[in-house]
Structure 1
Amino acid sequence: PHRRAMVDMPIGLKVSGHRRCDISARALVGASVFLGARRNLWAFPDQASANQYYWRHEGPGMGISCQLWNIRDKLREVDDFITPERQAVIGEAHPELIFRKLSSEAGLSGKKSALGRDQRIKLLADHGFVKISKWLAQRHGTGIGRDDLIDACACAVAARDSNARLGGDEVDSRGLRMEINY
């Protein structure tokens, strides 16, 4: 059993602007890192209203993506659950940072491509997930997406092995560290 868990969801939210750890992560792995997770995100009725507010109060380019808007309810669940005490055993990770580290920072093909998927599956198998191909075959009909299963396994590797992080110097209004482990 592991002593901690990692989730692919932002922990520690700003009131405005972008978290420094997200900016650093995005510089390493690109647009798979969503910018703009803020504590008031769920106060808006729709993405357009949120973007109008952020553009007006924070400036051009400070809006949110469709992907971030679509995970806002999950983001709120995590934010409601996590406390500084729980953050000691539940951390934030990002699968693409984890895969970058597991590959010794070698370039990987895109995760949606067959080659990229195969590269990630091999990295997971090399790090103890020897049944990953079987699990991927058995997931049909479960509602578990292929990429979600692969990413969850990457987060488990980080929970067990991670010794690197981006951020940790910013703390939100609830005392949560804004950091990404990998």
Structure 2
Amino acid sequence: MKCSGPPPNLPLGQPLAAIRWPIGLQGSPTAVRLGLDGCRGGWVLARLAARRLVLSLLPGLKSLEMGDQHMGCVDMPIGLTSHGQPRCCDDRVRRLLAPAGRSSSVFSPPGRCCLSLSDHGLATAAQRSGGGPGLSIQSWHLLERIRELDDWLQAQPQRPRQLLECHPELTFLQLQQRHQPEWPAPVSKHRDSGQHQRLRLLCQHWGWDPTGLVDQALVRSHRRHLQHHDLVDALACLAVAMDGQRQTLPIFPATDAAGLPMAVTCLGPG
């Protein structure tokens, strides 16, 4: 399948690849669906509008346009506990992923107390001072993106209803159980076989193969900005945003001190 896109060595924020959606879509023709994943260079965006799917790399969320007809899912924590205490939604996702051996892919988000801090040691001490756990290095490396998302959501009170947290590992497990139950559960996304399996699952789900689109976007981007799995995860987020049966874990989520929901959105029953 041929994909279109601009020449390589593009500045951030420019489209990396685009394709005309090859099959009919259900739902409102004016609806826009987004899949978003944080990466080294900013945010990978998969945007589907008017049957055109575009992959882009945004330098920051200030470049993200969301109108009234937009709905998106993002692979990044939204609602945060005060000092990194466990969130119910993370526990639920871990239990679902445990039989497949993928529960370790769910990291514990930092507490809200860490968002203003610029030192890992200080952030760990801040969490522990409120009775929370120490801050993992994985959470620390994501703190900049989590802080940016939190600021963006709070600056636009209507957006938490339109941009929802999801978890691609859960999405791919659901796709495997729905479309290819005889297959083994997806292996690590950092292995070539894991990425190939995930793209095949998206192909089964959508009825067309997004491999060419992803490869084109990767060729036309800088490896220091994004990796292959960032593009694939953004497409998984898009799949959840497109699902008219999507559901939240838990069904009735708690909200954090900023009023943001602590919930993970996933595919509904297929």
Shorter-normalised TM range: 0.7 to 0.9
Task: Give percent identity, aligned residues only.
Answer: 32
Q: Does 1:7 align with 2:74?
A: yes
Q: 2:104 aligns with which of 31, 34, 41?
A: 31
Opposite residue 28 of structure 1, the aligned amino acid is L
Q: Give the CA deviation at 1:137.
A: 2.0
Q: 2:135 aligns with which of 50, 61, 64?
A: 64
Q: 2:227 aligns with which of 130, 145, 148?
A: 145
Give 1:100's aligned residue: 173
Opposite residue 147 of structure 2, the aligned amino acid is R
Structure 2 length-normalised TM? 0.61
SS at match of 1:104: helix
Q: Give the CA deviation at 1:70.
A: 0.9
Opposite residue 123 of structure 1, the aligned amino acid is L
Structure 1 length-normalised TM? 0.88
Q: Does 1:46 align with 2:114?
A: no
Q: Give the CA deviation at 1:158.
A: 0.4
Contact 1:6/1:90, CA 8 A, preserved across alignment: yes
Deviations 1:85-115 (A, max 9, x none): 2111110111001111111175222222222
Opposite residue 87 of structure 2, the aligned amino acid is R
Q: 1:87 aligns with which of 136, 147, 160?
A: 160
Per chain length, whose mean CA-contact separation is higher, i.e. which structure has more relative contact order (CA < 8 Å, sep 6+)? 1
Instruction: Report how many residues are paired.
Output: 180
Deviations 1:20-60 (A, max 9, x none): 1112212333121110322122333321222233334426x
Indicate the larger mover: 50-59 or 84-93.
Answer: 50-59
- Indicate the structure with greater helix content: 1
Q: Return 5+ residue gaps in structure 2 as ranges.
A: 1-31, 34-69, 98-102
Give 1:159's aligned residue: 241
Give the Cα–Cα distance (whole angstroms) in 1 for the partners of residues 120 and 253 of structure 2.
Answer: 29
Give the Cα–Cα distance (whole angstroms) in 1 for the partners of residues 111 and 228 of structure 2.
Answer: 28
Contact 2:200/2:209, CA 8 A, preserved across alignment: no
Give the Cα–Cα distance (whole angstroms) in 2 for the partners of residues 129 and 153 of structure 1.
Answer: 14
Q: Give the CA deviation at 1:135.
A: 2.3
Q: Give the CA deviation at 1:136.
A: 2.6
Q: Return 5+ residue gaps in structure 1 as ranges.
A: none
Deviations 1:42-87 (A, max 9, x none): 333321222233334426xx11221211111111111111145211
Contact 2:114/2:123, CA 8 A, preserved across alignment: yes
Opposite residue 171 of structure 1, the aligned amino acid is T
Q: 1:135 aligns with which of 201, 204, 213?
A: 213
- Indicate the structure with greater strand content: 2
Give the Cα–Cα distance (whole angstroms) in 2 for the partners of residues 37 and 26 of structure 1.
Answer: 17
Give 1:55's aligned residue: 128
**Could you say which structure has the larger radius of gyration?**
2
Which structure 1 residue ranges, 4+ long, deviate > 3 Å from structure 2? Answer: none
Give the Cα–Cα distance (whole angstroms) in 1 for the partners of residues 263 and 239 of structure 2.
Answer: 17
Flag the 1:75–1:40 CA change in 2: closer, same or farther, 3 A.
same
SS at match of 1:6: strand
Q: Give the CA deviation at 1:7.
A: 0.4
SS at match of 1:172: coil
